[in-house]
């Protein structure tokens, strides 16, 4: 089955790339001059140069492509994709790829024009394109856009593996068996992760199954693993939390005796600290349950810098903080302790 590449027109938010950047992209496409870094043809034996926007997408590609791919990540570890502003260097980097993958569902909003323009001359794929629309969440405050944080449900993110596998097979048919075997093995690993999350988070007492984080990145996580999830900010970290909203959350925390709240590695902790201080002013102590990975994974080269490690960390941290049972070192004993927010 042929995959659908990114069309020439891509839905973009009101704030988009500057005219200068679009002109730069057009010049790159018009000139048609290959980059010095660009891979040779699939039959040459050279690795396939893949450009991926986020760490979560890049990790999927590495798992499927194995040694046949050289993956370059545009948005660095710990960087919020909602706020990422592409540069002219990013245009050159994206244009140097043989195949480009991005998450989609407006996660990389400010990169949308770049990806749309590049899609006129390069194979560009949204890894979430196969996810059933009936599965997607449409929050009331999201202006009709689906919640893009589908990787918080391991069973949903597993569906994105097929998109990558088929795209790589289209590009290099001689490696088809390798790509498909890698994809099947990785999907088995993601199923194990999904089952670990369900089993572990089910140990949290019913009255304690309330999870409050910096922004609305965990709605799929809550639905998949039966938790009530609330974010101080909206889907995008560009939104601001008002004083009234924070006061309402403080009242909820106190009334329901919530044990812990969570910061996120790619979002300022100030709103979560305001909740803790507000509850303390009412005579109720709430602890910081830990730092979660939401829109970005952990540091490169660490277990938490992989998708499996990222979700393992989140599941284990949430379970332990809310009164559930989970091994401190996670599903396979690989977790490192992440106790402090990077900006603390």
9 pLDDT exceeds 90? no
At residue 84, the pLDDT reads 85
Residue 332 falls within a domain, yes or no? no
Distance CA 280, CA 264 (A): 21
Residue that finishes a domain, picked among 152, 179, 197: 197
Of the three residues 197, 221, 248, the one that is the final residue of a domain is 197
Do residues 193 and 214 both lie within one domain?
no
Same structural domain for residues 115 and 23?
yes
Which residues contact residue 270 at a Cβ distance below 8 angstroms, ignoring those fewer than 6 apart?
none
Q: Which two tokens stand for residue 325?
A: 């049972």
Domain housing 47? 19-197
| CATH code for the domain of 147 | 3.40.50.1980
Q: Are residues 27 and 168 in the same domain?
A: yes
| Residue 167 or 145, more confident | 167
Same structural domain for residues 188 and 100?
yes
End of a domain among 197, 217, 239?
197
Same domain, 87 and 26: yes
Which string of DSSP letters, residue by residue, matches 166-194? Answer: HHHHHH-GGGHHHHHHHHHHHHHHHHHHH
Residue 344: pLDDT over 90 = no
Query: Is the domain of 189 the same as that of 211?
Result: no
pLDDT for position 229: 93
In a domain, 339, yes or no: no
pLDDT of residue 3: 58
Question: Phi, psi (5° rounding) for residue 325?
Answer: -120, 125
Ranking 33-42, 180-189, 265-274, 309-318 by mean pLDDT, the lowest is 33-42
Structure confidence at residue 6 (pLDDT): 53
Tell me the mean pLDDT in the region 156-185: 97
Task: Tell me the C-alpha to C-alpha distance, in Å, between residue 296 and each of 6, 57, 300.
Answer: 23, 10, 11
Q: What percent of the chain stands above pLDDT 90?
A: 61
Q: Is position 46 within any domain?
A: yes
pLDDT given at position 24? 47
Same-domain status, 91 and 173: yes
pLDDT digits (tens, 9 = 90+) for 254-271: 999 998 999 998 788 888
Q: Which of 53, 293, 311, 11 is nearest to 142 (CA)?
A: 11
Task: Output the pLDDT for position 32.
Answer: 45
The answer to whether residues 235 and 284 belong to one domain is: yes
Q: How confident is the model at residue 328 (pLDDT cuts 50, 70, 90)?
A: very high
This prediction has a pTM of 0.84
Specify the pLDDT at position 41: 52
| 289 pLDDT more than 50 | yes
* Domain contains 23: yes
Q: What is the per-residue pLDDT for 98?
A: 97
Q: Do 192 and 68 fall into the same domain?
A: yes
Q: What is the pLDDT of residues 15-41, one digit of tens each?
A: 333 444 444 444 444 444 444 334 445
Does residue 334 form part of some domain?
no
Rounded CA separation 207/217 (Å): 22
Q: Would you state the structure tokens that stand for residue 302, as one six-digit string?
A: 């660490």
Tokens 């590049």: give the residue: 118
Mean pLDDT of the chain: 85
Which pLDDT tens digit goes with each residue over 58-113?
Answer: 999 999 999 999 999 999 877 778 878 888 898 899 999 999 999 999 898 788 88
Best-predicted range by mean pLDDT among 39-43, 44-48, 108-112, 332-336?
A: 332-336
Highest mean pLDDT among 3-7, 140-144, 291-295: 291-295
Q: What torsion, rounded to 10 degrees, do the Cα atoms 112, 117, 119, 125 define?
A: -10
Residues 158, 64, single domain; the answer is: yes
Produce one character per residue of 65-98: b if its CB has 16 or more CB atoms within 10 Å, e if not: bbebbbbbbbbebbbbbbebebeeebbebbbbbb
Question: How many separate domains does the chain show?
Answer: 2
Let me know whether 158 and 221 are in one domain.
no
Residues 58 and 159 reside in one and the same domain: yes
């Amino acid at each position: 089955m042929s995959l659908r590449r990114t069309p020439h027109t891509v839905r973009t938010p009101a704030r988009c790339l500057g005219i200068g950047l679009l002109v730069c992209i057009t010049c790159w496409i018009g000139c048609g001059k290959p980059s010095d870094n660009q891979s040779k043809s699939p039959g040459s034996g050279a690795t396939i140069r893949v450009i991926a926007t986020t760490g979560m997408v890049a990790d999927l590609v590495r798992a499927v492509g194995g040694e046949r791919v050289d993956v370059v990540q545009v948005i660095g570890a710990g960087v919020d994709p909602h706020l990422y502003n592409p540069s002219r260097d990013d245009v050159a980097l994206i244009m140097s790829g043989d195949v480009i993958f991005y998450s989609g569902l407006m996660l990389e909003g400010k990169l949308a024009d770049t990806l749309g323009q590049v899609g006129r001359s390069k194979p560009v794929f949204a890894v979430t394109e196969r996810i059933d629309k009936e599965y997607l969440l449409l929050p009331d405050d999201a202006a009709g856009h689906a919640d893009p944080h589908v990787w918080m449900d391991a069973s949903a993110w597993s569906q994105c593996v097929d998109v990558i596998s088929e795209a790589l097979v289209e590009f290099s048919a001689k490696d088809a068996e390798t790509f498909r075997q890698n994809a099947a093995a990785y999907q088995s690993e993601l199923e194990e992760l999904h089952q670990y999350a369900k089993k572990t988070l089910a140990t949290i007492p019913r009255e304690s199954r309330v999870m409050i984080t910096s922004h609305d990145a965990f709605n799929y996580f809550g639905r998949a693993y039966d938790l009530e999830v609330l974010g101080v900010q909206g889907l995008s970290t560009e939104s601001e939390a008002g004083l009234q909203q924070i006061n309402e959350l403080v009242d909820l925390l106190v009334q329901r005796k919530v044990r812990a709240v969570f910061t996120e590695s790619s979002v300022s902790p100030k709103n979560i600290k305001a909740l803790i201080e507000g509850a303390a002013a009412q005579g109720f102590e709430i602890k910081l349950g830990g730092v979660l990975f939401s829109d970005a994974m952990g540091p490169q080269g660490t277990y938490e810098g992989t998708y499996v490690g990222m979700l393992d960390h989140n599941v284990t941290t949430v379970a332990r903080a809310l009164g559930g049972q989970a091994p401190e070192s996670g599903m396979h004993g690989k977790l490192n302790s992440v106790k402090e927010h990077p900006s603390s």
